[in-house]
């Protein structure tokens, strides 16, 4: 006979314990155990509904066929790029993001565009009428997009077998409930069980499935960490509510690069793909002002020109402020120390504010030179031409270090009509400069930058 008991689960790894403990022995996390009620001795026949007779046998690695997997074109270039060139049949994709960032809009928009594919959109959060209103706002009609409002995985799997969709979308994984687990939707055990069931049905029926996931206040996807291990790819939808840009970033991808990035723009009719983000991220200024430089950065395999803005002013309250938006504050402090020690600029008693325009967050070390140029420009009140760009890393000794894929950065600057691009002299070895119209300025130290600005 079934009975209910309390069990503690680790939010990070899903490890189970009969009592609360502060330190998880499975993953080492602290204060990660939460209490849930489970049923012991319950009939778990729901799991048998997706059981598939396995005919797998051990095969020598050299006997395995190396035929390339055919990917499904989602008719969305940015999403195809992030997924590695398209959607792999049978894959399970987890899409996370803040509430209202546009996760449901993006996937509904993709579902409506695929007119030659049968798409099953399963919603556990919105009614069919609400989804219809969003589809009318997007302005795309598609008879092959089927809407199902259901949260029970047993019923969802039955519809999978009846409809036989080409692509499935689950909105969201935190709303699903499995009959094999007696706990509320969104709990650790429910998310773990429902994700495992969706993974099994996606693999057995070869239906690529998107799972929409909520995130917690610290930015991580809600639920156990094992959720990210179960799925084949994890992509994060990011953006600032005060900007129209949305960034789709890969965190994990078993079928492609995990450093790709896609950019969208939110408007009244949904999300628009931004195929050339450099022209949008660079502001069109009629007048030259100090403290602004253009960095040639790289996100995944995509080169972009972004605007770096700096403001240096005298500290009004005695203690100087260091503030960054879209850049690492510790990296800024390091660059300021290099400028003071190696170049002789007295910045220790000045406020320094740094902003990456467009609401982007950049981790590429090649942006160092642009940051230094913007700080020096603001400090000396000297304008930098908006036709100059920078691509180099700055070392602790003040040297200008080389960065990877310099040809792609120079080609992007050349395409946008830049006049000069400042790079490390070590990147110029063996570089064919004759095929570029942009002037390439090699630098060895920060002193060379000051002379050429």
- pLDDT tens track for 135-158: 998 888 888 999 999 999 999 999
Q: For residues 287 and 304, which has the higher predicted lDDT (pLDDT)?
A: 304
118-132, 277-291, 325-339, 436-450: range with lowest mean pLDDT: 277-291
38-42, 151-155, 379-383, 434-438: range with lowest mean pLDDT: 38-42
Q: Quote the pLDDT of residue 365.
A: 93
| Average pLDDT of span 48-52 | 47
SS3 category, 425? helix
Query: Helices 368-380 and 329-342, interaxial angle, to 10°?
Result: 60
Cα–Cα distance measured from residue 170 to residue 209, given in angstroms and rounded to the nearest whole number: 7
In 329-438 the beta strands, taken as DSSP E runs, fall at: 350-356, 388-391, 393-394, 400-401, 420-424
| Average pLDDT of span 258-285 | 81
Cα–Cα distance measured from residue 352 to residue 364, given in angstroms and rounded to the nearest whole number: 20
Does the pLDDT value for residue 48 go beyond 50?
Answer: no
| Average pLDDT of span 370-390 | 94
| Average pLDDT of span 33-40 | 72
Q: Quote the pLDDT of residue 410.
A: 94
Does the pLDDT value for residue 61 go beyond 50?
Answer: yes
Q: Quote the pLDDT of residue 166.
A: 94
Does the pLDDT value for residue 23 go beyond 50?
Answer: yes
- Tell me what the pLDDT averaged over the chain comes to: 87
| Average pLDDT of span 70-87 | 90
Q: For residues 118 and 49, which has the higher predicted lDDT (pLDDT)?
A: 118
- Binned at pLDDT 50, 70 and 90, residue 352 comes out as very high
Q: Quote the pLDDT of residue 197.
A: 93
> Tokens representing 110?
């993709």
Instruction: Report in angstroms the alpha-carbon separations of 216 from 75, 97, 253, 291, 296.
Output: 31, 9, 22, 36, 33
| Average pLDDT of span 436-445 | 94
- Binned at pLDDT 50, 70 and 90, residue 399 comes out as very high
Q: Quote the pLDDT of residue 285.
A: 66
Does the pLDDT value for residue 46 go beyond 50?
Answer: no
In 127-269 the beta strands, taken as DSSP E runs, fall at: 145-149, 167-171, 209-213, 233-239, 245-253, 261-267
Cα–Cα distance measured from residue 404 to residue 392, given in angstroms and rounded to the nearest whole number: 9
DSSP secondary structure code for residue 438 in this structure:
S
User: For 177-201, how does the pLDDT look when each residue is reduced to its tens digit (9 = 90+)?
Assistant: 998 887 788 888 888 899 999 999 9
Where is 270: in which H helix or E strand?
strand 270-273
> Tokens representing 70?
């055919």
Other CB atoms within a 10 A radius of the CB of residue 438 amount to 21
- Check if the beta carbon of residue 267 is closer than 8 Å to that of residue 361: no
DSSP secondary structure code for residue 447 in this structure:
H
> Tokens representing 252?
């994990």
Q: Quote the pLDDT of residue 51.
A: 47
Q: Quote the pLDDT of residue 426.
A: 94
33-47, 230-244, 368-382: range with lowest mean pLDDT: 33-47
- Check if the beta carbon of residue 122 is closer than 8 Å to that of residue 156: yes
Cα–Cα distance measured from residue 447 to residue 214, given in angstroms and rounded to the nearest whole number: 49
| Average pLDDT of span 255-265 | 85
Q: Quote the pLDDT of residue 54.
A: 54
Does the pLDDT value for residue 50 go beyond 90?
Answer: no
Does the pLDDT value for residue 65 go beyond 50?
Answer: yes
Cα–Cα distance measured from residue 441 to residue 156, given in angstroms and rounded to the nearest whole number: 60
Does the pLDDT value for residue 1 go beyond 80?
Answer: no
| CA torsion through residues 252, 254, 259, 262, sign | negative
Q: How many residues does the chain have?
A: 453
Q: Quote the pLDDT of residue 49.
A: 47
Q: Which residue bears the tokens 């099994």?
A: 200
Q: Is 410 exposed, middle or buried (0-12, 13-18, 19+ CB in 10 A)?
A: buried
Q: Quote the pLDDT of residue 38.
A: 66
């Amino acid at each position: 006979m079934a009975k209910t008991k309390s069990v503690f689960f680790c939010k990070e790894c899903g490890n189970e314990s009969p009592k609360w403990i502060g330190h998880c022995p499975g993953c080492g996390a602290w204060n990660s155990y939460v209490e849930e009620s489970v049923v012991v001795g319950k009939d778990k026949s729901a799991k048998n509904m997706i059981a598939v007779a396995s005919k797998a046998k051990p095969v020598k690695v050299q006997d395995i066929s190396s035929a390339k997997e055919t990917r499904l074109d989602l008719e969305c270039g940015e999403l195809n790029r992030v997924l590695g060139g398209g959607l792999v049949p049978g894959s399970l994709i987890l899409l996370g993001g803040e509430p209202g960032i546009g996760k449901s809009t993006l996937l509904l928009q993709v579902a409506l565009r695929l007119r030659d594919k049968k798409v099953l959109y399963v919603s556990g959060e919105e009614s069919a009428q609400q989804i219809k209103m969003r589809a009318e706002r997007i302005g795309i009609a598609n008879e092959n997009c089927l809407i199902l409002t259901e949260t029970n995985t047993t019923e969802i799997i039955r519809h999978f077998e009846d409809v036989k969709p080409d692509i499935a979308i689950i909105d969201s994984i935190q709303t699903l409930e499995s009959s094999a687990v007696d706990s509320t939707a969104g709990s650790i055990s429910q998310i773990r069980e429902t994700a495992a069931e969706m993974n099994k049905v996606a693999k057995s029926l070869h239906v690529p499935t998107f799972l929409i996931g909520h995130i917690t206040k610290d930015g991580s996807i809600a639920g156990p960490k094992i959720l990210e291990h179960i799925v084949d790819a994890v992509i994060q939808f990011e953006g600032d509510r005060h900007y129209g840009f949305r960034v789709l970033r890969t965190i994990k991808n078993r079928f492609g690069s995990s450093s790709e990035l896609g950019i969208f723009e939110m408007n009244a009719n949904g999300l628009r793909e931004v195929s050339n983000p450099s022209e949008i991220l660079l502001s069109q200024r009629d007048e030259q002002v100090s403290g602004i430089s253009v960095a040639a950065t790289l996100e995944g395999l995509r080169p972009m020109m972004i605007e770096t803005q700096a403001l240096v002013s005298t500290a009004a309250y005695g203690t100087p402020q260091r503030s960054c938006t879209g850049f690492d504050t510790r990296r800024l402090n390091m660059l300021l120390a290099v400028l003071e020690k190696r170049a002789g600029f007295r910045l220790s008693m000045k406020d320094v504010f740094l902003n990456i325009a467009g609401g982007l967050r950049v981790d590429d070390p090649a942006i160092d030179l642009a940051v230094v140029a913007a700080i020096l420009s603001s400090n000396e009140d000297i304008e930098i031409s908006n036709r100059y760009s920078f691509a180099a890393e700055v070392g602790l000794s003040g040297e200008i270090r080389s960065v990877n894929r310099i040809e792609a950065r120079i080609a992007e600057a050349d395409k946008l009509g830049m006049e000069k691009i400042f790079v490390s002299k070590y990147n110029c070895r063996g570089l064919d400069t004759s095929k570029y119209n942009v002037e390439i300025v090699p630098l060895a130290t920060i002193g060379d930058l000051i002379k050429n600005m």
